[in-house]
Structure 1
């Protein structure tokens, strides 16, 4: 723990106590938890502030469950300029819905319903009224939003930044105590190296089980990168050189993958959920003019989420650029078939 973190630690103790009291009020029934009838609710969330791969894991669950059940996703819609309950449509732009809900809506092309609402209880009630046949609801980032009941609580923790090594805000990055993991039915260690061995898994199990219940299921997921996709949705080859543009929490894995495929001649890094301004667009276009002809053929490579924002907010500029995005998925690294069967059987037994 660094010097600044030590100075902030007393504030962390106060914040941790506040969250402890809040959780005890929920446990004792003093704060009401709302159950949505005839709806199996799965929460995908985390203890830590920052990127743990919630959207890729949500998409992984959609791939597993949507062939079997009628599904919806409910998100807060982080970064949107609208408020209240809204059904996400593929023709929307990211300023209306937030980038991640729009990405999910477009990716699954009407096979599931996607909604945004700050009030998860109100959102779940309204979507169930609109579509009574929906059987499974995925809540995005609602681990601390305990006002809505859930039948399955999935906790995510990044492999390189595990919750059991962290402390509560502001000296650390946790939203609540490590013991909040006791509410998890499953823990996914995300963004793991694909070469992760059995010994490393066993070591993590020991560390995780200090904070969870004995029957909590632990799984590991890792990145799988697909073929580059162009602006019109076509697959495209990796360029000789690339300018990388990212507005995600942690682009490290993506950059390491790209450096195996192309020569990265620049990286414009923006904060997670960054809304690209006119100044940003001008800077990108200036970079393109300066580099043109100096590095042979090159393309801009960005993330799927950033492509969503760029195309939504700056379509006229983006369509002139040599730009593509790198699709990325989280995939299970252990007991994939067993996990999928157990998850499906659990839902069938309760709906």
Structure 2
């Protein structure tokens, strides 16, 4: 917490009042929650970002798409369009948002990707499509209570768990910690791979302070892939200039520092729209460290914006490599997740 956070406490109290009233209206039925006609999984968090929603959505896609027709639905944060859209071959990040575009690029041949700020209306339209999806994954919809999912997954990071965070503007929570009671499953993301049983038990106890009784708590970590070039003419170098636009880039910085030689970090806010000035800064930084022959490494999400916004010739001039990430569970936790999906979403008793 920032040293001056106590000055923001009155504003956090006001924010808490507004969000509590909203949730109370939903609990009383004064605001209506509509169940999806399609079996659904809601993935979300209590904070303003950085919990790893997109990698978790991708994990669920990989887990389910070989057996079921899968679709994703999000509001398409940062897009320059409105209304209900389905991703297609001619779609751009400006039309659907960078994260849905990333998902479409990776899985568009195997699943359907939709965006719509009115998710109740969007779900109705999707249900009327011929060969409608058999599973829909709702990205960042935990607090979008107008839609009621079959399985509500709450993500929280190991580094900044919701139970030790505070409401905006003191902290990063979008609603009170008590919102965890709506979760059917809580996943602690970005955990160290060697997280021990005593540490997990302690975390589960702290989570249980706010969740409903017997809510399962699972633990996931991040697996990084090999850096791949945006332009195949470039060779990789272990000297890295890291370019990120994430809500929390600290785990990425730690990984790059531990596995490569980190020359410099160029850090931007989450969902940053890269501009001409940003690309000029990349050029300048590359020139500054030219004697070390570095390459630029960025995330899949940032690569979407870089490719879309880069000036002509930039991608052929600057060696940019993309570092993919995937979610990993222990075999026991992955089995528990699969069983819970079967029970809550498909109404099956076992796998």
Question: Within 2, Cα distance between the matches of 1:156 and 1:13?
Answer: 24
The equivalences for 1:249-288 within 5 A come to 249-288=247-286
Higher mean Cα deviation, 312-321 or 205-214? 312-321
Contact 2:286–2:294 (8 Å) recurs in 1 = no
Is 1:328 the counterpart of 2:325 in the alignment? Answer: yes
Determine the structure 2 residue equivalent to 1:33.
Answer: 33
The equivalences for 1:140-179 within 5 A come to 140-179=139-178
Contact 2:231–2:315 (8 Å) recurs in 1 = no
Residues 63 and 232 of structure 1: CA distance in aligned 2, closer, same or farther (over 3 Å): farther
What is the Cα deviation at residue 143 of structure 1? 1.1
Is 1:113 the counterpart of 2:112 in the alignment? Answer: yes
Contact 1:80–1:94 (8 Å) recurs in 2 = yes
Question: Within 1, Cα distance between the matches of 2:3 and 2:137?
Answer: 40
Higher mean Cα deviation, 248-257 or 188-197? 248-257
Determine the structure 2 residue equivalent to 1:190.
Answer: 189
Q: How many residues align?
A: 346
Question: Within 1, Cα distance between the matches of 2:208 and 2:176?
Answer: 15
Question: Within 1, Cα distance between the matches of 2:9 and 2:186?
Answer: 27
Per-residue CA distance 1:278-302 (angstroms, 9 max, x = gap): 111122122233433x11x321111
After superposition, the CA RMSD in angstroms is: 2.0
What is the Cα deviation at residue 170 of structure 1? 1.8
Question: Within 2, Cα distance between the matches of 1:261 and 1:8?
Answer: 39
Question: Within 2, Cα distance between the matches of 1:9 and 1:210?
Answer: 22
Residues 337 and 161 of structure 1: CA distance in aligned 2, closer, same or farther (over 3 Å): closer
For 1:74, what is the secondary structure of its paired residue? Answer: strand
Match of 1:303 among 299, 302, 311: 299
For 2:43, what is the secondary structure of its paired residue? Answer: strand
Question: Within 2, Cα distance between the matches of 1:148 and 1:240?
Answer: 46
Question: Within 2, Cα distance between the matches of 1:169 and 1:207?
Answer: 21
Determine the structure 2 residue equivalent to 1:201.
Answer: 200
For 1:133, what is the secondary structure of its paired residue? Answer: coil
Determine the structure 2 residue equivalent to 1:319.
Answer: 316
- Structure 1 runs not aligned, ≥5 long: none
Q: Which runs of 4+ in 1 moved over 3 A?
A: none
What is the Cα deviation at residue 97 of structure 1? 1.4
For 1:170, what is the secondary structure of its paired residue? Answer: coil
Residues 4 and 284 of structure 1: CA distance in aligned 2, closer, same or farther (over 3 Å): same
For 1:307, what is the secondary structure of its paired residue? Answer: helix
Higher mean Cα deviation, 81-90 or 190-199? 81-90
Question: Within 2, Cα distance between the matches of 1:256 and 1:166?
Answer: 22
Question: Within 2, Cα distance between the matches of 1:291 and 1:90?
Answer: 38
Question: Within 2, Cα distance between the matches of 1:237 and 1:60?
Answer: 29
Residues 237 and 343 of structure 1: CA distance in aligned 2, closer, same or farther (over 3 Å): farther
For 1:264, what is the secondary structure of its paired residue? Answer: strand
Residues 50 and 133 of structure 1: CA distance in aligned 2, closer, same or farther (over 3 Å): closer
Contact 1:220–1:334 (8 Å) recurs in 2 = no
Per-residue CA distance 1:224-264 (angstroms, 9 max, x = gap): 00111111579x97513121111111222212222233212
The equivalences for 1:73-88 within 5 A come to 73-88=72-87
For 2:240, what is the secondary structure of its paired residue? Answer: strand
What is the Cα deviation at residue 340 of structure 1? 4.3
For 1:192, what is the secondary structure of its paired residue? Answer: coil
Question: Within 1, Cα distance between the matches of 2:232 and 2:34?
Answer: 41
Residues 337 and 279 of structure 1: CA distance in aligned 2, closer, same or farther (over 3 Å): closer
What is the Cα deviation at residue 3 of structure 1? 5.3
TM-score, length basis structure 2: 0.93
Higher mean Cα deviation, 71-80 or 168-177? 168-177
Is 1:240 the counterpart of 2:238 in the alignment? Answer: yes
Match of 2:342 among 331, 342, 345: 345
Contact 1:158–1:192 (8 Å) recurs in 2 = yes
Higher mean Cα deviation, 164-173 or 133-142? 164-173
- Structure 2 runs not aligned, ≥5 long: none
Question: Within 2, Cα distance between the matches of 1:189 and 1:164?
Answer: 11
